[in-house]
Amino acid sequence: MMKAAYIGCIRKRPRPFFKEYATVRHSNEKVAEVPGESARDVLTEVLRDGAQRMLTEAIEAEVAEWIEAHAHVRDDQGRRKVIRNGYKPRRSILTGLGPVQVRQPRVRDSRSAGEGECFCSKILPPYLRKAKSVEELIPWLYLKGISTGDFNEALAAILGPDAPGLSATTITRLKARWEEQYKDWGRRSLFGKHYVYVWADGIHFNVRLEDAGNDRQCILVLLGATEAGEKELIAITDGYRESAQSWRELLLDCKARGLKVDPKLATGDGALGFWKALREEFPTTLEQRCWVHKTANVLNKMPKHLQPKAKAMLHDIWMADTRKDAGSAFDLFLKTFRAKYPKAVACLEKDRDVLLAFYDFPAEHWVHLRTTNPIESTFATVRLRTRRTKGCGSRIACLTMVWKLVESASKRWRVLNASQIIPDVIEGVRFVDGVKELAA
């Protein structure tokens, strides 16, 4: 078949568009134009230029505000002691858009050493070379199964080929520094700490730990809420979700480092070996099963066409305003499905009391206590793996990367609702259906 080129209908256009031509014998269609690689590069460049201008303006405003705030500081001749003095050498900051060039104004401060605080930019701290988003990207890629040797290629694909300073050597050096920080964190004292609530879970990642025999091994995570309602990571170690011994070792380590007061309530999945260890080490702590895990386990034992209805009925249980209403909804579910789906009913029924334990705590805290979401949300992008990577991951490296991810995520954690009533929980004040019971 002959191919028509239709050269006469093509006009020269500037890049970044490439042209595709019709290849049929006769065609009245217009030439199709699709954006090529250079179009995306131009977009990235525009975004990067915009970010650079915004960063420059923010730093200029920060410096101007500092100088204006110290306009009253003058010498004996009435001259200002704090003034602008040109610019510092240009710096390159690696961001999610690639490298961004920044010039920071220099502040000349002629005050004596003890006379006042020197200017230090909060936007652009000294020696900053990488944005926080880039530092979070490194542990995320590792836990997704990217080996150290492949980091350079992976980061270049994400941040652009011009991204400097992230060679395999740099990644190795970063990992080594983080490993030392993780070890120091793991040895820190917990003396005087009082965690009112704790959440426990075992997280699987794409990295196989040390050898093929550890395929079922995962990372055990314990999170707590302090007396002020702030969430804190208590401990991270490797072990087996179903092993009471693994969890016992984690709890014993916490107690050895000074954690003496039993939490009021612990939330976790029913399949964890955590519960046996908890009863031995913190016997007064009440148990709350995670409703997200329980819902998934029950629905897995039912046919797909019934799952939406069953899920709605489970939702009616844990969203009930009172324990009595929850009990009624619970009984309705059991009666509805017991005859045909006894395994699903048995899965739910065996944990009835510990699924409804949250009703003995303030209603404002229920949203935090019913699930292990504080842990789940932190690892949402990396926890569910479909297969293990072929290469083995170092145990300490994997633990370090998990710790680094949580450390970054913790800056975005919010305080518990109505944290001002936590002292009542600590004092043992009784709550009925989430409402404080007043003394007679």
Report if residue 92 sits inside a domain.
yes
Report if residue 118 sits inside a domain.
no
Report if residue 153 sits inside a domain.
no
Work out the percent of the chain whose per-residue pLDDT is above 70: 67
Q: Is 55 helix (H, G, I), strand (E, B) or coil?
A: helix
Same domain as 361, residue 284: yes
Report if residue 207 sits inside a domain.
yes
Sign of CA dihedral 337, 343, 344, 345: positive
The number of folded domains in the chain is 3
Residue 288: predicted pLDDT: 97
Report if residue 227 sits inside a domain.
yes
Does residue 108 surpass a pLDDT of 90? Answer: no
Same domain as 379, residue 240: yes
Same domain as 329, residue 194: yes
Q: Is 35 helix (H, G, I), strand (E, B) or coil?
A: strand
Written as six digits, the tokens of 162 are 């011009």
pLDDT tens digits for 335-359? Answer: 999 999 999 999 999 999 999 999 9
Nearest to 195 by CA among 288, 264, 273, 107: 264
Report if residue 119 sits inside a domain.
no
Q: Are strands 82-87 and 105-109 parallel, antiparallel or unpaired?
A: antiparallel
- Count Cβ atoms within 10 A of the Cβ of residue 411 and give its class: 0-12 exposed, 13-18 middle, 19 or more buried: exposed
Instruction: Return d(Cα 393, Cα 175) in angstroms, integer.
Output: 13
Last residue in a domain, options 59, 89, 109: 109
Does residue 52 surpass a pLDDT of 50? Answer: yes
> What pTM did the predictor assign?
0.67
Last residue in a domain, options 109, 124, 159: 109
Task: Specify the higher pLDDT residue, 46 or 253.
Answer: 253
Same domain as 370, residue 233: yes
Same domain as 16, residue 50: no
Report if residue 161 sits inside a domain.
no
Cβ contacts of 82-91, under 8 Å, gap ≥ 24: 82/107, 82/108, 82/109, 82/110, 82/111, 82/119, 83/107, 83/108, 84/108, 91/124, 91/129
Give the domain extent around 96.
40-109
Same domain as 189, residue 98: no
- pLDDT bin (cut points 50, 70, 90) of residue 245 is very high
Same domain as 87, residue 189: no
Does residue 334 surpass a pLDDT of 70? Answer: yes
Nearest to 242 by CA among 260, 223, 206, 216: 216
- Across the range 25-36, mean pLDDT stands at 45
Does residue 135 surpass a pLDDT of 70? Answer: no
The residues, ordered by sequence, that sit 6+ positions from 191 with a Cβ below 8 Å of its Cβ are: 257, 258
Same domain as 88, residue 20: no
Task: Specify the higher pLDDT residue, 377 or 301.
Answer: 301
Same domain as 229, residue 105: no
Nearest to 179 by CA among 14, 401, 357: 401
pLDDT tens digits for 398-412? Answer: 788 788 878 877 888
Same domain as 52, residue 21: no
Residue 109: predicted pLDDT: 81
Instruction: Return d(Cα 278, Cα 267) in angstroms, integer.
Output: 11
pLDDT tens digits for 136-171? Answer: 566 666 655 566 666 665 565 555 555 554 556 666
Residue 20: predicted pLDDT: 47
Report if residue 167 sits inside a domain.
no
Same domain as 13, residue 104: no
Residue 213: predicted pLDDT: 54
Work out the percent of the chain whose per-residue pLDDT is above 90: 42
Same domain as 55, residue 30: no
Q: What is the mean pLDDT of the chain?
A: 78
Instruction: Return d(Cα 71, Cα 75) in angstroms, integer.
Output: 11
Task: Specify the higher pLDDT residue, 131 or 422.
Answer: 422
